[in-house]
Structure 1
Amino acid sequence: MYKLRDSKSTFVTVSNTLVFKDRFDHTVYLYDTSNDGLEKVQDENIQQQRCVCRA
C-alpha cells in the first residue's frame, strides 16, 4: 500500500505502456499493456524521483 506522493504513474498511448514509479525503492516499472510485459528499471541515478512524464 502506498501513501500519497510515494508513487506516480502515467500511460503512454503511443506505446501502450503504463509507467509506474516507486519513489523509495528507486524503481520505475514499465508495463506493456499490448503483450503483458513488465520491465523493472533500477539505477543508482534514480533517487527518490518525484514524478513521471510522457516520452
Structure 2
Amino acid sequence: EELNLTETQSLEIDLLINNTRSLTNTKCTTTATTTTTTTTTTNTAIVVTDVINNFGMMKNG
C-alpha cells in the first residue's frame, strides 16, 4: 500500500535516510561518531514510524 506523503514529508525522509547512509558509511573511530550514527538512525526510524502511524490515523479517522 502506498503512503500519500506531502512533498515536504518525502524530502524530510529522503534527507534523513541520506544523512544516516552518509554517517554509517563513515568509519566509526570514536564513541562520539558511533553515538551520532546510532542517534541519527534512531531518529530516522522514529520519523518514518510517525509518518506511517499518522498516515494510518488520517486514513482510518
Q: Would the TM-score normalized by the shorter structure come out above 0.5?
A: no
TM-score tier (shorter): under 0.3
- Select the structure that is richer in strand: 1
TM-score by length of structure 2 reads 0.23
- Select the structure that is richer in helix: 2
TM-score by length of structure 1 reads 0.24
